[in-house]
Amino acid sequence: MPLGQLFLELGAVILALALVGRAAGRLGITPIPLYLLAGIGLGALFHLGDAPEEFIHTGAEIGAVLLLFTLGLEYTSQELRDNLHAHRRMGLLDLALNFTPGLIAGVLLGFTPLAAVLLGGVTYLTSSGIASKILADLGRLGNRETPVILAVCVIEDVVMAAYLPVVAALLIGGTLVAIGVNLMVALGAFALAFFLALRYGHVLSRVMNVESDEALLLGVLGLVLLVAGIADLLKVSAAIGAFLVGIALSGEVADRARHQIEPLRNLFAAVFFVFFGLQLNLASVPDVLLPATLLALVTSVTKFIVGWRGAARAGVQARGRFRAGTTLIPRGEFSILIAGLGLGIAPSLGPLAAVYVLLTAMIGPVLTRFDAQLVPLLERKKQQAPAG
C-alpha cells in the first residue's frame, strides 16, 4: 500500500474519533459507546486496507496495556494486598453469578461443552480497559468505590491466569500432563510478578526516576511493553502484567509517569475501542441479536449485584454502590479474546460475543454517567413500595 494512502486512511479514522470525542463531551458522557459505534460505521462504509487495519489492531493492544498500567499507578502495593484480602468473597460471588449465565446459555444454544465454558468466560470478565476509562473520564479514580472495582478486575485476571491455559490446552487436545505444565507456568509467572511488584517496587521506582522527562517516558513505556509481552508469552494477561508494573511504581516517579503516559494512553485507548467496532460483521448480527441481548440484560444485573454488594461491604453509600455496579457491567478485550479461541468449534460464538460486548459496553457507561438522577429515583420507588 502506498504511504500516502496509509496516512489518508489512518487520518480519516483518527479524525472520526476526534469528532466522536467532541460529541461525547457535549453530551457529558464517556465516549466509549460512541467509539464502538464509530468502529461499526467505519467498517460498514469503508474497507480499510491491510496496513491500516494491522496498525489499528496493534494500537488497540497497546491501548489496553496502557489503560491498565495507568490504573495500576493509582494504587500502592499495600492497598492492592488489602483489597484482594478484603474482597475474596466478592470474587467468589462474581464467578458464580457471571460465569454461570454464559455457561447455561451455551448449553441452551447447542454449543459443545467446551464452547459453553468459553461463553461462560465471555460473560464473566469485566473489561478492565473500559472500567478504567470510565473512572478516568468521569474523574472517579479517587472515589471510595473505586478500590472495590479494582479488586474485582484484579481477581478476575487472577482467575484468567488459570482459565486461559487450561482451555487453550483442551482446544488443541493436550494431555493432562501438558495442561498441568501450562497451568503451572502461567500461575508461577503471575505469582512471581506479583511478589516482585509488592516486595521490590520501591527499588524499581528509584531506578526509573531519572531527571529527563524524555528518558522517563521511554524507560517506562519500554518496561511496560516488555513486561506485557513476557506476560502474554507465558499465557498470563498482558494487561495484568502492565497493571503490576503500575503497582510497582510509586511516589514521585508514579506521578511523573502518569503525566507523561496520559496523552499516549488517550490516543491508543480510542483506537482500542474503535477496533472492537471494526471487528463486527453486520451480516451476522440478526442471528445472534436476541440471545446476545438477553445475555447482556441478565449479566448486567448480575454484575451490578456484585458491585453493589461489594461497595456496601466497604461502607460506601448508595450512589457509590450504584457507580460500582454499573462500572463493572462492560465486557471487552478479554471477552473478544476468549471468543476467538472457540471460533473453530462454534463459529457463531464470535458474532455473539461481539454483539454482547457492544451492548454491555454501552449499557454500563451510560448508566454510570446518570447516577445522580437514577439513584434518588430508585430510592423513592423503594420507599413507596410498602405503601403500594
DSSP 240-291: HHHHHHHHH--HHHHHHHHHHHHHHHHHHHHHHHHHHHHH--GGGHHHHHHH
The residue type found at 1 is M
- Are 79 and 284 spatial neighbours (Cβ–Cβ below 8 Å)? no
> What pLDDT is recorded for position 171?
76
pLDDT, residue 388, reads: 46
Structural domain contains residue 374:
no
Does residue 7 lie in a domain region?
Answer: no
| pLDDT for position 109 | 93
Residue 379 lies in a domain: no
Predicted pLDDT of residue 298: 97
Specify if 196 maps to a domain: yes
pLDDT of residue 306: 95
Whether the Cβ atoms of residue 255 and residue 205 lie closer than 8 Å to each other: no
> Is 68 part of any domain?
no
Backbone angles phi, psi at 269, to 5 degrees: -65, -40
Domain that holds residue 293: 12-45+75-367
Per-residue b or e along 309-340, where b marks 16 or more CB atoms closer than 10 Å to that residue's CB? bbbbebebebbbbbbbbbbbbbbbbbbbbbbe
Residue 284 within any structural domain of the chain: yes
Can you give the CATH number for the domain in which 210 is found? 1.20.1530.20
Instruction: Give the residues of the chain that fall short of pLDDT 50.
Output: 388
The predicted pLDDT at position 204 comes to: 84
pTM for this structure?
A: 0.74
Q: Nearest CA to 368 among 332, 308, 326, 321?
A: 326
Quote the pLDDT of residue 107.
95
- Asked if the structure places residue 82 within a domain, the reply is yes
Residue 67 lies in a domain: no
Asked if 30 and 369 touch (Cβ cutoff 8 Å), the reply is yes
Domain count, the chain: 1
